[in-house]
Amino acid sequence: MKKTIQDYELKNKRVLIRVDFNVPIKNNQIINDNRIRMSVPTIQYAIEQGAKVILLSHLGRIKTEEDQQKYDLKPVAIHLGNLLGQEVIFVEETRGKRLENAIENLQSGQVLLIQNTRYEDLMDEKESTNHPELGAYWASLGDIFINDAFGTCHRSHASNVGIATHLPSGIGILIHKELEAFTPILENPKHPFTIILGGAKVSDKIEVIENLICKADYILIGGGMAYTFLKASGIAIGKSLVDEEHLDFCKQIIQQYPDKIILPIDSINAEDIDGIAIERFISDFKPNEIGLDIGSNTIKLFSQYLKESQTILWNGPVGMFEKSNFAKGTKALCELLKENSGVKVVGGGDTASAVIQFGYSESMTHISTGGGASLELLEGKKLPGIEIINEK
């Protein structure tokens, strides 16, 4: 078990907390502050314990000086100050005298945010390549390191792995919640255990299927990836998305697990993504049509499996939900999960966005804050940002 923030005496200590403030910003306005809100419990806890709180986060990717202007963390500092009801001291640099003096003057219960850690990527990618000098420098600014940025745990960066190499470390409240949601599913799920997989590409989900097919009772497949599976079973799928490279993988999985892999029986098609939506049985596909959502009979079919499931894991929207014509399947699954009283865990990224956008956040046991990180957990991989943290 990893140490948590609660395992440390924080009073008067300089506590470096890696948070995930990688939020969408346009014209200095934060479009969606979900990630900032999710980090508040850990920050609040550290304040209440009398820590000197020093926050680090990345924002966007920095390749040019224009990127630096675009991805300045200052608006986040102001917004976080409003959420916490206290000033957040913002230091515009990622290193140097000004930062060191500000930390020296920091009082117990005060919060300071360091500029975007990826400013360090401009010259020679020190942050993203976990340059040892950078991790050691940031570590020298604190006494304890807490990682609460789940979204970057699958990366080994200076601001997570680099700092943790040099300081006593623990996970924050958010990462603890993520692990509490995923660990039982991965180790000992309650059966029936059903996985819903969707999204664009089969290639992104191959390792998830390989890792979980033995544990799962059913894998319901929708989204763009379903059409590759359908083609692999000999069905003509018009101009739908096909991942030619992985046809053999799909064929083999269907043959090996015919009762576990559940494919769509109908589809919402159109001649292009802005075209008129037509529902057709899979056997009636027209050569000039693209499949863009699961049909109503597939929703009924999937509902039979979902109704009985005690554990449901969902990764990937089952249609092009960004277009209202092709959002019905993904919305219907939200509704089916709402009706289910078992454990329902939603992977991060697009699936999380869809569930939140359609207003079903409260109906889920857990919605992950990390797309890539949650996918790697499901693939059975160890996340370097968590592995490095001290054991209890």
Q: Is 329 in the site for ligand AMP (CB under 6 A)?
A: no
Complex with ligand AMP: residue 169 or 267, whichever CB lies closer: 267
Mask for 109-138, x = binds ligand AMP (CB under 6 A): ------------------------------
- DSSP secondary structure string for all residues of 183-212: HHHHHSPPSSEEEEE-SS-STTTHHHHHHH
Catalytic hit among 35, 155, 177, 231 = 35
Bridge partner residues of 147 (DSSP): 18, 171
Q: Is 376 in the site for ligand AMP (CB under 6 A)?
A: no
What is the enclosing helix (H) or strand (E) of 229? helix 223-232
CA dist 264 and 296 (Å) reads 10
Q: Is 350 in the site for ligand AMP (CB under 6 A)?
A: yes
When binding is defined by CB under 6 A, the residue of 162, 291, 348, 370 that contacts ligand AMP is 291
Q: Is 223 in the site for ligand AMP (CB under 6 A)?
A: yes
Closest CA to 121 of 171, 73, 65, 70: 65
When binding is defined by CB under 6 A, the residue of 142, 151, 295, 319 that contacts ligand AMP is 319
Torsion from C-alpha of 383, 380, 203, 260, nearest 10 degrees: -150
Catalytic hit among 70, 74, 201, 251 = 201
Binding segment for ligand AMP (CB under 6 A), chosen from 80-88, 89-97, 198-206, 299-307, is 198-206
Cβ neighbour number for residue 274 with a 10 Å cutoff: 8
Residues touching ligand AMP, count (CB under 6 A): 18
- Could you confirm whether 392 is annotated as catalytic? no
Shortest distance, position 363 Cβ to ligand AMP, whole Å: 20
Complex with ligand AMP: residue 264 or 385, whichever CB lies closer: 264
When binding is defined by CB under 6 A, the residue of 3, 201, 239, 280 that contacts ligand AMP is 201
Task: Tell me whether the omega of the peptide bond preceding residue 317 falls within 30 degrees of 0, making it cis.
Answer: no
Complex with ligand AMP: residue 198 or 385, whichever CB lies closer: 198
**HSE, side-chain direction, 13 A CA sphere, residue 135:** 19
- Could you confirm whether 372 is annotated as catalytic? yes
151-160: b or e for each residue (b if 16 or more CB lie within 10 Å)? Answer: bbbbbbbbbb
Chain residue whose CB lies nearest ligand AMP: 199
Q: Sheet of 266-270: strands edge to edge?
A: 278-281, 266-270, 290-294
Complex with ligand AMP: residue 198 or 384, whichever CB lies closer: 198
DSSP 159: I
Q: Look at the block and give the residue holding tokens 């699954």.
A: 333
When binding is defined by CB under 6 A, the residue of 47, 114, 292, 383 that contacts ligand AMP is 292
Shortest distance, position 164 Cβ to ligand AMP, whole Å: 29
- Could you confirm whether 61 is annotated as catalytic? no
Catalytic hit among 198, 295, 349, 371 = 349
Q: Is 322 in the site for ligand AMP (CB under 6 A)?
A: yes
272 class by beta-carbon count within 10 Å (0-12 exposed, 13-18 middle, 19+ buried): exposed
When binding is defined by CB under 6 A, the residue of 135, 170, 189, 199 that contacts ligand AMP is 199
Within 225-284, the residues that bind ligand AMP by CB under 6 A are 241
Q: 160: which residues sit within 8 A by CB, 6+ positions away? A: 18, 147, 149, 152, 153, 384, 385, 388
Q: Are strands 343-346 and 311-315 parallel, antiparallel or unpaired?
A: parallel
- Could you confirm whether 260 is annotated as catalytic? no
Interaction site with ligand AMP (CB under 6 A): 198-201, 204, 223-224, 241, 291-292, 316-317, 319-322, 349-350
Mind telling me the catalytic residues? 35, 201, 349, 372
